[in-house]
Amino acid sequence: MNYLPLIGIAIVVVGFLFRLNPLAVVTAAALATGLAAGKGLAEVIAILGKAFNDSRYVSIVWIALPVIGLLERYGLQQQARRVITRFRRATTGRLLLGYMLFRQLSAALGLTSIAGHPQTVRPLVAPMAEAAAERDTELDEVTRERVKAMSAATDNIGLFFGEDIFIAIGSILLIVGFLDQNGIHVAPLHLSVWAIPTAICAFLIHGARLLWLDRTLKK
């Protein structure tokens, strides 16, 4: 067996270890793997081009990024701050708790792309959480960064533990395929059902952290 084509893995590991440009590292790894496998340079480039062309629809989501950038430039974050100040009983913890519930429920229905860090956390959720925290006290830089980090973590936890409830998500299908290869036959529905208690526990645990954050901010 020829192990030389595995050189691409070594290039990726070394490139990421030295924090080189990810696009350049992956491209170099792909070229090295193809050449080590005995293919010509033109053939390797043709394969890369075909793979990019076949998956071009995946990049459509990036069209939303310049739109969000324009909205931020024209005051989206400031408007989000003004909105949250109108709700007197809204706190940082309660706001993020409601967002996590929305994130888990939408992910459980397979709607994983309707929210996220670039779409909602940076332009909306984080500014609103900061504004709610500033209502009680003046935030120092460390506390402000903590509120931002908790906003991002809330999105991650809601998505991670919510998407496994959806029967057709990639993680569920991966687990089913892996177990099936090892002689363990499990229906995707069974895995999805057993993901519900985990999602509930994640909601309760992180929800407690968010409410504790409220107490910390008040102090």
Domain identity same for 72 and 106: yes
Structure tokens at 97: 């708790």
User: What does the pLDDT look like over 8-59, one tens digit per residue?
Assistant: 899 999 998 888 888 889 889 989 998 988 888 888 888 888 877 766 655 6
The runs of H, that is alpha helices, within the chain are: 7-17, 22-36, 41-54, 64-73, 76-85, 92-108, 126-134, 141-163, 170-181, 188-218
The band of 94, judged by pLDDT with boundaries at 50, 70 and 90, is very high
d(CA 119, CA 67): 10
Domain identity same for 69 and 45: no
Domain identity same for 27 and 120: no
Structural domain containing residue 99: 63-218
Structure tokens at 211: 């409410």
Domain identity same for 113 and 30: no
Asked whether 163 and 108 are in contact (CB, 8 A), the reply is yes
Domain identity same for 108 and 70: yes
Domain identity same for 193 and 95: yes
The model's pTM: 0.68
Domain identity same for 50 and 69: no
Would the pLDDT of 71 be above 60?
A: yes
Q: How many domains does the chain have?
A: 2
Domain identity same for 148 and 193: yes
Domain identity same for 41 and 115: no
Please give the pLDDT value at position 57: 56
Would the pLDDT of 140 be above 90?
A: no
Domain identity same for 76 and 39: no
Domain identity same for 50 and 120: no
Please give the pLDDT value at position 161: 92
Domain identity same for 87 and 47: no
User: What does the pLDDT look like over 165-187, one tens digit per residue?
Assistant: 888 777 777 788 888 888 888 88
Please give the pLDDT value at position 146: 92
